[in-house]
Structure 1
Amino acid sequence: MRITAIRDDVVPIKSQIANAFIDFSAMTASVVAVVTDVMVEGRPVVGFGFNSNGRYAPRGLLGERFIPRLLEAAPESLLGEDGLIDPHRAWTAMMRNEKPGGHGERSVAVGVLDMALWDALAKAKRVPLWRLLADRYNGGRADEAAWVYAAGGYYHPGKGLDALKDEMRSYLDRGYSTVKMKVGLVPLDEDLARIEAVLGLLGGDGSRLCVDVNGRFGLEEAIRFGHAVAPLGLRWYEEPVDPLDYLAHAALATTYAGPLATGENLFSHQDARNLIRHGGLRPDRDVLQFDPALSYGLVEYLRTLDVLRDHGWSPRRCVPHGGHQFALNIAVGLGLGGNESYPDVFAPFGGFADAVPVRDSRVAMPDAPGIGFEAKADLYAVMRPLAEAV
């Protein structure tokens, strides 16, 4: 199996929505196609990848460093014993001459290509990625379905309580029983009114609602907000402080007994280890949201899972950020706790295969080879031209 070409493009996913820290008016994503010489049904196997939302398209890094390293590597150096591309060996080639530390935008660029390589490998084997992962890393065990929640509740100009409730009601109508909303951008009393409005739709059941601060609060504000929402019994209180302020997380965990969630802005197994060592998080209740698409890909995510196990954490405490099919395959194949979902925002990259319904916040996986992008028509329409242009 040889890589014959790699194409990339930048796709806008801009929106007028905002969370407590940034707006998405200029957000972009990189899309890549890794073309190989393996033929299936008369067509070359092509693996596709893209970067998860919240980080801009890393096109410069892709074009200057990581794509050239893959193309310049000796083809046999990228292959496993089965003669197919080994994403682990490809990862080593991409990271050649990279110093340790500094896990920023380069982790996003590598993650884009890593996703495409796993997609290509599973297609070459003619199996879904979730099945390949279950057989290779999880003793053949795969979950029948993944737990998912609908992420939304963004701030938007002119969006009042009625519009917020209409949005959340639409998620419930589409089969989600758990939803997430943004908080932290407006005064506490306004956010509490927004939370109460959504809880009204959920029958007052706080375990069906997550709130996300996106790291905006300082410790004192995070504690004050935590005291205000603690009686509601929320599913989790997400990214209450800066993601790298482990001491603040640890301090908050001494005052907020409910589940905390964080990790989407940590991009390496070393950062995950530091969070577990120093962040005061509790393996019996807290949620880890490392996003494999932003974190050097699945090769690095496997290292992260090893770190977590070594520190007494179950993979079930992992619910990846991003709402994409790559993480969904990983969740099902490796036995994670679930996956985020974006039913309406960040189109066409969020959501699942077109024929896959959501029932009580659970989705089953199709048997499509690879990650399954071809089963999501609007997303495949963006990806297909990259392969056809080669």
Structure 2
Amino acid sequence: MSRIERAEVFVASPGRTFVTLRITTSDGVVGLGDATLNGRELAVASYLRDHLVPLLVGKDPARIEDMWQYLYKGAYWRRGPVTMTAIAAVDTALWDIKGKVAGLPVYQLLGGRSRDGVLVYSHASGRDTAELLDDVERFLALGYRAVRAQAAVPEVGGTYGIRKGTLYEPAATALPDEQPWDTEAYLNFAPTYLEAVRERFGFGFHLLHDVHHRLTPLEAARFGKAVEPCRLFWMEDPTPAENQEAFRLIRQHTTTPIATGEVLNSIWDVQTLITEQLIDYVRTTVVHAGGVTHLRRIFDLAALYGVRTGSHGATDLSPVSMAAAVHLDVAVPNFGIQEYMGHAEETLEVFRGGPTLADGMLHPSEVPGLGVEYDEKAAERFPYQARYLPVARRLDGSVHDW
């Protein structure tokens, strides 16, 4: 019987920092898992190396569900982003191995296709409305059917989501960049540029917007009501999601669809949001919500209540995570949309393969397993670099949700 022979943890910064788990079986089959937690990468790497890797050697790699329960229940201290990201890496690597042993892509092991491709959205942004409109036009010309729109609030330097280069990557400094924030200025300005997008390009594509936890529930309700004529696909993270009940107030005041969950880590974190239908899209991810096994549980619960999927897919998820997400996206019946930002050229030198983009949709690899390979030699050219996400401060100097 095949057993896990070794498990290795790699930390490298090709374009941005990624933590990768590689599990090798006694039969020589290799599985990859993403263990990246943006700004806290080394905490997960240590959790894996010091606590989980010693538990894996000698175990049966085919017993994915049993391994998930063993790592989750066996630790006593449960949940949280570090724990769930480490478990996700193991789980995803075991699904990769199972697919390779079976000679099938992972989505076939999840029940096969429910759709031909996975609808994705990418991120248009600008330093002002005119620049944003030009960027939206660029993405539509590339064939995207869904675009997220963000523009810098005039005279406020901490607007979320404004791309500086070809890719949006906020974790770019060795210590957190402290950015100013003004909620009233945002509430006055954001609806105007969303209206400008619709006025110029019409309603023939999906338009999304990320509030990024910046509003109170009542402020979020006010914003959602204001942008109803724009018919947004969703407003993302309108208020911090730790208080699930807060979304009831938003629901009472607006019909703008709500998406949240990218910073949440388990089915319990989204249980009320789903079962009380307080959101329309759940944005939990493979890497931060316990892997393919646990994310499928979340999606199955969501399906019972008419909530669709909309998983986070920023550049801080490695191509391993993106591949796993697309395999799951193509299989589940309640798929909604997948965030897709692409990766830097340096990233693709280290991670080879994965899904392909065509006509605004991602298509999973047909290679057995997840379809991604890790080039350890290439990774050695990109040593670890500490990078932190920004911190937002109100104009009075107090810390605000970023």
Deviation at 1:192, TM superposition (A): 3.2
SS of aligned partner of 1:331: helix
Aligned with residue 24 of structure 2, among 31, 35, 46: 35
Paired letter, 1:125: A
Paired letter, 1:164: L
Deviation at 1:332, TM superposition (A): 0.8
Alpha-carbon deviations, 1:107-157, whole Å to 9, x = none?
1111122111111111121111111111xxxxx55422122222x2467xx
Q: Residues of 1 paired with 2:82 and 2:284: CA distance?
A: 15
Deviation at 1:173, TM superposition (A): 2.7
Is the alpha carbon distance of 1:46 and 1:344 closer, same or farther for their aligned partners in structure 2, counting shifts above 3 Å? closer
In structure 2, the partner of 1:23 is none
In structure 2, the partner of 1:95 is 72
CA RMSD of aligned residues (A): 3.1
Deviation at 1:100, TM superposition (A): 5.5
Q: Residues of 2 paired with 1:348 and 1:53: CA distance?
A: 16
Q: Residues of 2 paired with 1:148 and 1:180: CA distance?
A: 10
Tell me if structure 2 keeps the 8 A contact 1:123–1:370: yes
Report matched runs for 1:167-178 at 5 Å. 167-178=135-146
Equivalent residues, number: 337
In structure 1, the partner of 2:358 is 358
Q: TM-score, normalised by structure 2?
A: 0.74
Tell me if structure 2 keeps the 8 A contact 1:267–1:296: yes
| Percentage of pairs with the same residue | 25
Pair 1:289-2:286 in alignment: no
Q: Residues of 2 paired with 1:86 and 1:181: CA distance?
A: 43
SS of aligned partner of 1:254: helix
SS of aligned partner of 1:192: helix
Q: Residues of 1 paired with 2:18 and 2:337: CA distance?
A: 23
Report matched runs for 1:202-351 at 5 Å. 203-205=201-203, 208-277=206-275, 280-281=277-278, 286-309=280-303, 312-314=304-306, 317-322=308-313, 324-335=322-333, 336-343=335-342, 348=347
Q: TM-score, normalised by structure 1?
A: 0.76
In structure 1, the partner of 2:318 is none
Pair 1:56-2:40 in alignment: yes
Q: Which moved more, 1:250-259 or 1:184-193?
A: 184-193
Paired letter, 1:304: I
More RCO (CA 8 Å, sep 6+): 2
Deviation at 1:385, TM superposition (A): 5.9
Deviation at 1:65, TM superposition (A): 1.4
SS of aligned partner of 2:274: helix
Alpha-carbon deviations, 1:163-218, whole Å to 9, x = none?
434433332232211011347656233323443454355x2328611101121211
Higher strand share goes to which structure? 2
Pair 1:133-2:94 in alignment: no
Consecutive unaligned residues of structure 1, counting only runs of 5 or more, are 15-26, 39-43, 80-84, 135-139, 375-379
Tell me if structure 1 keeps the 8 A contact 2:113–2:331: yes
Is the alpha carbon distance of 1:166 and 1:195 closer, same or farther for their aligned partners in structure 2, counting shifts above 3 Å? same
Tell me if structure 2 keeps the 8 A contact 1:70–1:94: no
Report matched runs for 1:97-136 at 5 Å. 97-99=74-76, 101-134=78-111
Deviation at 1:253, TM superposition (A): 0.7
Q: Residues of 2 paired with 1:354 and 1:272: CA distance?
A: 29
